[in-house]
Structure 1
């Protein structure tokens, strides 16, 4: 593990509220924030970060249980990766994507070495949404078909096609209804849309539902099925055994391209290099971003099967980006993958999930009536918070805002007051720290989470 990941305490500077106020004022005057009503937000001014911690200008230090937006898989400011970016900036800071550049080639080679199966061609993008956009374009051109199937309770990005593919409420405001997207229900036993009582039932009924959807839509009209290998923002719902293999078989039978979105789960997050390894499934296209270089410089991409790559062997692929395979981003990726291998960060994430996070979260669930279910693996966990443990009524309504979201707001506030920065979405809190967080730091975070759950318990019906 990274020995520098535990030195944040000594790195925390003294308070400087005047500078913090100036940073906040400039932000409020000029920065337009995503997914926000601009006059209703109060962004924290961040002074610095290292390892699993960050701090503000008032001297408050937070243990980050969000990894930024689930991307700092090796923690903040890893010195080896920072040095690699600095070295690359001094040698070749940028270059156009049509050329062969050493660090770009090496990043592609290392990614291909880690992706499942024979996904050996890498198309670089600037992030996950663009990766999804291009994967869908490749699938449509490869098959000559227009439709894409994606799941409710999913998130695939904020760009035009990706937001239509998304299955959560962030889609609603931008849903054109004409993007060639059809949504279906993926398995989720705790809140089963199929009235299943076992994983085997949930798997069989979810596959039957997907098969029926394909039948009604017309198999010859469907270019691709895209799934998050383990849905992330929507709730970390690990699919039951056999489900992804079943989707693979359906795709093969109907000539449909199978796309796995590993933007959040890739590069160690689940205790494997890619979550697909847990299910022994190889997709036709795999999208990635975030953990590929711990978010240090924007980078994403698509890993492509030989069959789809051959489609564009003599036929130009009609897509590209000015910054595709940017040298600084690729240098960060090369260094990150080497650090992860040398420091055994993927193995550490698996160990952490099996021995600290999983058992610790299940122990909390046994003591807190507000915890309905614990789900996850590696450094990728969610607590499903409920108002009524018997009926499984969520602690707050679906897509709640304002006063309707009071319980989750109170819970998040309690976390922050204790020095824990939580990942909160709807009625869930996700536990997604850096994959190289130490056992001691993880236990510290669980203790703070334990105290905050007392607040959530106060909203449970008696």
Structure 2
């Protein structure tokens, strides 16, 4: 579609044109927004208004962990809406209490008490404030290749280029290097020791280090198994907290309940959203250890939302976790994830434009390159805040033409299908990506 067609909405149906005119598209120059109307979704597939059907190979925005047919979750929401659509946060509902207890059961270690919000970004906002309240310190160290949300606090601790448009952000945020073996000058374990030096040089002023255990939209970066345990040791040596952002890596995505479980680490604070309800309702959660929870018995938790613990949202969260348990989806994600990893390796062997594939469970990234020896990317960080499309966008678009929706971020295809996906459906989506990678192969430097 030409720039003029994009700007005028040519080629869009009535609903799509109406949406383009009256609704802001996210993270976009509005002239480039071209919404596609979805009219149906079932299992791991969704259908658009023009009749095209796609395998949802990225769970929309890495959030539809249960796919699109979790009827028990939908029923729980409907039942709660009919009983009581809303109550103020000073009241409670059975679902809110039971979900809080359930999260204490499925999260690691002594994580035990939760503040409920409506999104991942709000969960991170709560985590920042709680860390500052509890420690009496202000600074937050996060990493350059990270995404923690869009509100001012969470975009300030976000590392990826989208924060640049929102700066200056909140004070006291510092960025650290990432465990990124393919694209960094530091070895992953050197990067964690760098954080140790940062904490030393900042003096006793850092409240917390905030990380995604496995980086999500900035490349599916899987650290060495000793990285996260060492990071926790470092933070505690400097009387700082470890916050794990599990918004994307939680609820079976990695083949474990949470990304930190892959490394057998208990954070001091954990943030959650997305898979918490399987995206059936907007819900965020910030869960803290019993020690931190005890602090707020005598100290004010100066934080709240009108929709904190919204009845329908927590009903969805409780029903989603029960579905994960009853259908053994966490274990299944690990098993099916092994097959997915093998099929992605087939693409690595076949396509020279695949620079590196990384992942665990049903959480994988395929990073592209113009030149494998020189590791020259097709997509650059600045592309995230620029106009136009890239070769990586074209790869995703071609995969869509062959029946698979695959999200991409900067230079990486994000593979994160619903936990209910079958091996046959994986094969179907891999065939579509195979066709897409022909585009990047042809665009390589020779």
Cα distance in 2 for residues equivalent to 1:394 and 1:441: 29
* Alignment correspondent of 1:396: 379
* Alignment correspondent of 1:363: 346
Check if 1:227 corresponds to 2:211: yes
Residues 61, 419 of structure 1: 8 Å contact kept: yes
Check if 1:67 corresponds to 2:59: yes
* Alignment correspondent of 2:359: 376
* Alignment correspondent of 2:9: none
Listed as ranges, the matches of 1:90-129 within 5 Å are 90-129=82-121
Cα distance in 2 for residues equivalent to 1:113 and 1:363: 38
Listed as ranges, the matches of 1:23-422 within 5 Å are 23-176=15-168, 179-194=171-186, 196=187, 202-203=188-189, 205-218=190-203, 220-354=204-338, 356-400=339-383, 405-422=389-406
C-alpha spacing 1:178/1:274, structure 2 compared with 1 (3 Å): closer
Greater CA drift, 387-396 or 398-407: 398-407
What is the Cα deviation at residue 353 of structure 1? 1.2
What is the Cα deviation at residue 77 of structure 1? 3.4
Cα distance in 2 for residues equivalent to 1:102 and 1:151: 38
Cα distance in 1 for residues equivalent to 2:427 and 2:103: 32
SS at match of 1:399: helix
CA-based RMSD of the aligned residues comes to: 1.4
Q: TM-score, normalised by structure 2?
A: 0.95
Cα distance in 1 for residues equivalent to 2:393 and 2:347: 20
Cα distance in 2 for residues equivalent to 1:271 and 1:106: 24
What is the Cα deviation at residue 430 of structure 1? 1.0
Cα distance in 1 for residues equivalent to 2:225 and 2:390: 36
SS at match of 2:109: coil
What is the Cα deviation at residue 67 of structure 1? 0.7
SS at match of 1:190: coil
What is the Cα deviation at residue 380 of structure 1? 0.5
Residues 104, 111 of structure 2: 8 Å contact kept: yes
Residues 423, 429 of structure 1: 8 Å contact kept: yes
Cα distance in 2 for residues equivalent to 1:396 and 1:107: 41
Task: Encode CA deviations 1:81-139: one digit per residue, 9 max, x unaligned.
Answer: 11111111111221111123111001111111100101010110111101101111011
What is the Cα deviation at residue 403 of structure 1? 8.2
Cα distance in 2 for residues equivalent to 1:166 and 1:383: 22
Cα distance in 1 for residues equivalent to 2:143 and 2:50: 43
Residues 395, 408 of structure 1: 8 Å contact kept: yes
What is the Cα deviation at residue 192 of structure 1? 2.8
* Alignment correspondent of 2:8: none
Cα distance in 2 for residues equivalent to 1:235 and 1:440: 26
* Alignment correspondent of 2:3: none
Q: TM-score, normalised by structure 1?
A: 0.92
Residues 397, 404 of structure 1: 8 Å contact kept: no
What is the Cα deviation at residue 241 of structure 1? 1.9
Aligned residues: 434
Residues 120, 303 of structure 1: 8 Å contact kept: yes
Q: 1:443 aligns with which of 405, 427, 437?
A: 427
SS at match of 1:332: helix
Task: Encode CA deviations 1:228-255: one digit per residue, 9 max, x unaligned.
Answer: 0101001111111211111111111111
Residues 169, 399 of structure 1: 8 Å contact kept: yes
Residues 385, 395 of structure 1: 8 Å contact kept: yes
Cα distance in 2 for residues equivalent to 1:79 and 1:396: 39
SS at match of 2:342: helix
Cα distance in 1 for residues equivalent to 2:230 and 2:192: 7
Which structure 2 residue ranges, 5 or more long, are not aligned? 1-11
Greater CA drift, 73-82 or 323-332: 73-82
Cα distance in 1 for residues equivalent to 2:169 and 2:120: 22
C-alpha spacing 1:315/1:271, structure 2 compared with 1 (3 Å): same
Cα distance in 2 for residues equivalent to 1:178 and 1:22: 41
